[in-house]
Structure 1
Amino acid sequence: MKFAVFTASTPSWTPEEAATILAEQGWHGIEWRITDQAEGTSFWAGNKATWPLTGLEDQLDRIREVTEKAGLKFSSIGGYVPPTNRVDADRMLAATAALGAGRVRIAGLKVEPGTSYSESFAKNREDWKWVEERARHHGVRALVELHHGTLTPSASAARRLLEGLDPLHVGVIHDIGNMVIEGWEEPEHSLDLLGEYLAHVHVKNCAFHVAGVEADGTLRWEPKWVPLREGRADLPALFRALRAVGYDGWVTVEDFSDVLPLAERTAGNLDYLTSIARAAGYDPH
């Protein structure tokens, strides 16, 4: 098992800073965020550790150089292109192949306005047949993430989406932090259900907080990202379940809490993940 950090969660670091600091802390790899983003100062806008999709092909040598110079590996590529955007989706697949990264996330879709879930899901499955074909062409694996608010919040939905497609070229990112919000299935059940489609693992944590009180006294709860040790997701149980199904691939952290300074947060997360992995029977090194 190897550990990486998704750079969506390192917004204040430049690519060089992110790679250097993470390598010095002992991380094995990095998962670069690639998207054209709005201006701002947050995880998702103005993130300094994000590579733009526009002109991506001209940045591939630099992405490879920054990664390899630090001694890191690519755990995957964190793409945001949906399968409906076939031009850019194919570009992401080609870039992943050129980098030798192996895996890339293809963004999940929501229910289209004016359509039912079933209609949108059927259309998305046709899109993924195309994704599988292009991933095979490029010799990489395209991944759909278990993500709240999309057509695939659960392992059951993702398995149904990819069923019958070649697991060598399509797969699923298991994300327990997202599943706490929507799509919850016990780790041992969800991992068993994904089977050969389990391709990658993301970890973060989430807790629900009272966000307001209605006039009749009804409490309104909303999710909030919290440090890995503090949320609803039982990460030690996840690692035991991963061990039980024989998973020994990448685990990528995307910690969107902001209680601790960034460098302290990433270092502490590596210590925590290493300890619970060893307790589950892994030997991360």
Structure 2
Amino acid sequence: MRFSVFTASTPEWTPAEAVRKLAEQGYDGVEWRVTDQDDAPQPGFWAGNRATWPLTGLEADLPEIARLTREAGLEFSGIGGYARSFERDDVARLLAATATLGAGRVRVTMPLLRTGHYRDLFEGARKDLEWATALAGEHGVTVLVELHHETIAASASSALRLVDGLDPAAIGVIHDLGNLVIEGHEDHRAAFELLGPYLQHVHVKNVAWQPVATADDGTVTWAHDWATLRAGQADVGAYLRALREAGYDGWVTLEDFSTAVPLEERTRDNLAYVRALAGA
């Protein structure tokens, strides 16, 4: 397995700082966040993230993205795009940019459940993915569908329904350990077997559910929050063993959104932790 970091989780670093620090710590690659984001008084994961490349004007930034990545000695594990499957112009731009960079693969996000009736959303996304897969094939890159809570593809089973029958050389699935703690968990071994050739990328983060309120009748309300790799509910070691037993030897991208540990210490410790687990 090769390890990278998704720069959504490194908001305090500029792109130059991100690749320098990740290379120094021993990472194999970087997964760049690409989206037009809101400004923020302080750098945050989703707004004001300094390690994010804007989608607007992306083409002009491609030489700098390539230079920074390669001069640091890192590979592209992929491009973390945020274009929805139905935003075809933006998807086309991301596919072309991924091909230009030689980054191999790019995430295309799925419709949110709250935006319509599930069957309608699913049918529309399937048509969009058929179109995107054909275009990805022309570019020689791969579209990635991430297992993500509150979307139409929260589980391996639902993602397989979306991509089944499409060319696995041009479309695949990101299996995301942390997201599945929130919604969509299935037995990992079964999920890997189910996805087969569509299992093409992995994201690792962790999540914990916490009680946040108790009603007068004793009913407890729970909420999920990001946790360190060690402290969350997912067993990272068991997950990596299951991946290895399934024959997966691709990218494992870390995206730790916990904040209990300072960023540079967090990324360094996470790499040591997963490498030790993967080799155990």
* TM norm. shorter chain > 0.5: yes
Deviation of 1:109 (Å)? 1.2
Q: Aligned residue for 1:283?
A: none
Q: Deviations over 1:61-97 (max 9, x none)?
A: 0000010111000001000001111111000000000
Runs of 4 or more above 3 Å deviation: none
Alpha-carbon deviations, 1:224-275, whole Å to 9, x = none?
A: 1000011111111111111111110000000000011100000000000100
Q: Does 1:87 align with 2:89?
A: yes
The residue aligned with 1:75 is 77
Matches within 5 A, 1:112-261: 113=115, 115-261=116-262
Question: For 1:9-64, what per-residue CA distance to the aligned partner results, in whole angstroms no more than 9, with x for missing partners?
Answer: 00000000000000000000000000000011311100000000000000000000
State the match for 1:274 in structure 2. Answer: 275
2:44 partner letter: S
TM-superposed CA distance for 1:119, in Å, is 2.0
SS in 1 for 2:133: helix
Structure 1 vs Structure 2: percent identity of aligned residues?
Answer: 55
Q: How many pairs were matched up?
A: 278
Residue 176 of structure 1 contacts residue 233 of structure 1 at CA under 8 Å; is this kept in 2? yes
Residue equivalent to 2:9:
9
Equivalence for 2:30: 30
Question: Which residue in the other structure is 1:21 paired with?
Answer: 21
Deviation at 1:112, TM superposition (A): 5.6
* Whole-Å separation in 2 of the counterparts to 1:37 and 1:216: 42
Cα separation, 2, equivalents of 1:122 and 1:59: 35
CA distance in 2, matches of 1:118, 1:134: 25
Task: Answer yes or no: is the 8 Å Cα contact 1:187–1:237 preserved in 2.
Answer: no
Separation in 2, partners of 1:131, 1:162: 11
Contact 1:175 1:201 in 2 (8 A): yes
C-alpha displacement of 1:168? 0.3
User: What is the aligned-residue RMSD (CA, Å)?
Assistant: 0.9
User: Match for 1:105: what amino acid?
Assistant: R
Counterpart in 2 of 1:56? 58
**1:135-158 deviations in Å (ceiling 9; x for gaps):** 111110000000000000000000
Q: CA deviation at 1:108?
A: 1.6
Q: Distance in 1 between matches of 2:215 and 2:121?
A: 33
Separation (CA, whole Å) in 1 of partners of 2:27 and 2:141: 23
Distance in 2 separating the partners of 1:56 and 1:213:
48
1:171 CA drift (Å): 0.3
* Contact kept? 1:191, 1:242, Cα under 8 Å: yes
How far apart, in 2, do the equivalents of 1:221 and 1:132 lie? 39
Amino acid at match of 1:4: S
Which AA in structure 2 matches 1:253?
L
What residue in structure 2 maps to residue 282 of structure 1? none
1:185 & 1:15 partners in 2: Cα distance?
35
Cα offset, 1:110, TM superposition: 1.4
